[in-house]
A and B are shown apart, each in its own frame.
Chain A
């Protein structure tokens, strides 16, 4: 069995036996549905589009995903299991990727459950399947970047609560930073940078049904960069 798969399976066993994954699923599904039907009035608008459903996801991931990623390293250090983990013959990259894939498996399962919303609503309107696929692809890409950033913060944190708060603050800031130019007059270059660095601005393209390779590359770089830095943090910790 590949080392990554060994780590992935261990993480999934922990998610299966503890509350955070279930809490994440329950809040994500309940809040996103409430947002769509109660806040954005899906039936009142009379439009066969799930854009409001996906628009809330950056904020939802910012608040809920850190509950999954805080476990990655900060919790391992708190319980002492970090010592077991890093003395098994596994590379830092195996550990980081295995943990990331496990978080993404939980996110994937929850997004799979959320498919019940468009499936149920399909009897009331004709949804564009292509747009829906792009929206879900965007949600996965966004979640992947958020989870990778969460793991990096966790790899640098001593306390799980600190990891949660720091990740959540970072993700909320990144989700909102692209809106700053709308409120402040900034030099054009700076405004473009702020829009570019925000995952939410790239996610908006997916929500509009636009699959742009630049957005995919952005999320790919953010995910792989954060995972690389997490692995580096583990190596640095071993040699500090």
Chain B
């Protein structure tokens, strides 16, 4: 449904998108993940027909963005970042305009407006001017605008930015539902959101694709090591540190911290592909004559994986 090949976009000297290629089939939610300034919005804007690429191709449903931007716009429903609306117009007036711009009239127009408003949960706001709507309601009206006319592809730029937790939950559920019968391409800088919503994640960094795969693949592929947290009964911290030097592959992350009387909490990092680190620690403690009071395995969080992938760890 979406085909992007060697896409590039420059603003003067600055190259915002540098040779990005990906595909998104019909149905499903695909997330573009990246920090601010990674080029997410630029790619979404090209796919929405807002501006043309400098080179490369972006196709939606077989329509090339550079060749027939008007036809492309018929197939794409777009929610810009922060859901901009005309303050003086009601949701109904926004939807009426979008419907008319999409060539709908009469009963078809009324039905499209009703369905989009209901599906996006914006029906209650139809008669209220946008300037009096909260951020959450504005976002719903923006989503209704994107949904109007039932386009096969939805392009959503940071669809949950600025919403409260309850609104985020509702919006995510709506996006999941929408992804069942159309292609949804969304951008986010929150890894947890991509993990919660997307069947596929494209990681973008400084305008280039840094990785792609399922949320699990992204997470696992990037986990260079696992991490354990252990509480060890030992005579003192120096003894623990000395003994840890004999634990193959383990790296001590910070000094042991006291945990009650005669016990020390340590955080250990292991390289990916090592034998089960938990078993190694258990065997090591027994061989050193220490008692293992607690052992907790920490997976790398998506945030950490993202930081590693984008080379921003520790920055």
Chain A residues with a Cβ under 8 A of chain B:
1, 3, 5-7, 9-10, 13-14, 17-18, 79-81, 83-84, 86-91, 237-240
Answer whether residue B70 sits at the interface, using C-beta atoms and an 8 A cutoff.
yes
Q: Can you spell out 17 A-B residue pairs with CB atoms less than 8 angstroms apart?
A: A1-B100, A1-B104, A6-B101, A10-B86, A10-B100, A13-B97, A17-B129, A79-B84, A80-B82, A83-B50, A83-B80, A86-B50, A91-B70, A237-B51, A238-B69, A239-B51, A240-B11
Q: Is the interface of A mostly helix, strand, loop or mixed?
A: helix
Answer whether residue B88 sits at the interface, using C-beta atoms and an 8 A cutoff.
yes
Chain B residues with a Cβ under 8 A of chain A:
11, 45, 48-52, 69-71, 73-74, 76, 78, 80, 82, 84-89, 93, 96-98, 100-105, 129, 145
The 4 closest A-B pairs by CB, nearest first: A80-B84, A6-B100, A17-B88, A89-B73
A98 CB to nearest chain B CB (Å): 10
Most A C-beta atoms less than 10 A away, residue of B70, B76, B93, B97: B97
B101 partner residues in chain A, CB cutoff 8 A: 3, 6-7, 88-90
B207 CB to nearest chain A CB (Å): 17
Beyond contacts A87-B48, A87-B78, A89-B101: 17 other A-B pairs, Cβ-Cβ < 8 A, are A1-B105, A3-B100, A3-B101, A14-B86, A18-B88, A80-B82, A81-B86, A83-B45, A83-B80, A84-B80, A89-B70, A90-B70, A238-B50, A238-B51, A239-B52, A240-B11, A240-B51
A239 partner residues in chain B, CB cutoff 8 A: 51-52
B84 partner residues in chain A, CB cutoff 8 A: 79-81, 83-84
B70 partner residues in chain A, CB cutoff 8 A: 89-91
Residue of A nearest to B109 (CB): A1
Given contacts A83-B50, A84-B145, A238-B52, contact A89 B88 (CB under 8 A): no
Number of cross-chain contacts by CB at 8 Å = 83
B64 CB to nearest chain A CB (Å): 14
Q: By the criterion CB–CB under 8 Å, are A13 and B52 in contact?
A: no
Q: By the criterion CB–CB under 8 Å, are B50 and A88 in contact?
A: no
A13 partner residues in chain B, CB cutoff 8 A: 88-89, 93, 97
A101 CB to nearest chain B CB (Å): 14
Given contacts A79-B84, A81-B85, A87-B48, contact A9 B100 (CB under 8 A): yes
A86 partner residues in chain B, CB cutoff 8 A: 49-50
Given contacts A5-B100, A7-B101, A89-B74, contact A79 B51 (CB under 8 A): no
Q: By the criterion CB–CB under 8 Å, are A1 and B103 in contact?
A: yes
B78 partner residues in chain A, CB cutoff 8 A: 83, 87
B13 CB to nearest chain A CB (Å): 13
A90 CA / B72 CA spacing, docked (Å) = 11
A5 CA / B84 CA spacing, docked (Å) = 22
| Residue in A7, A80, A89, A240 whose CB lies within 8 Å of B102 | A89
B260 CB to nearest chain A CB (Å): 56
Residue of B nearest to A10 (CB): B97
A86 CA / B82 CA spacing, docked (Å) = 16
Q: By the criterion CB–CB under 8 Å, are A6 and B50 in contact?
A: no
A18 CA / B51 CA spacing, docked (Å) = 30
B76 partner residues in chain A, CB cutoff 8 A: 87
B145 partner residues in chain A, CB cutoff 8 A: 84
B108 CB to nearest chain A CB (Å): 11
A169 CB to nearest chain B CB (Å): 28
A5 CB to nearest chain B CB (Å): 7
B177 CB to nearest chain A CB (Å): 23
A85 CB to nearest chain B CB (Å): 9
Q: By the criterion CB–CB under 8 Å, are B102 and A88 in contact?
A: yes
A5 partner residues in chain B, CB cutoff 8 A: 100
Residue of A nearest to B94 (CB): A84
B290 CB to nearest chain A CB (Å): 61
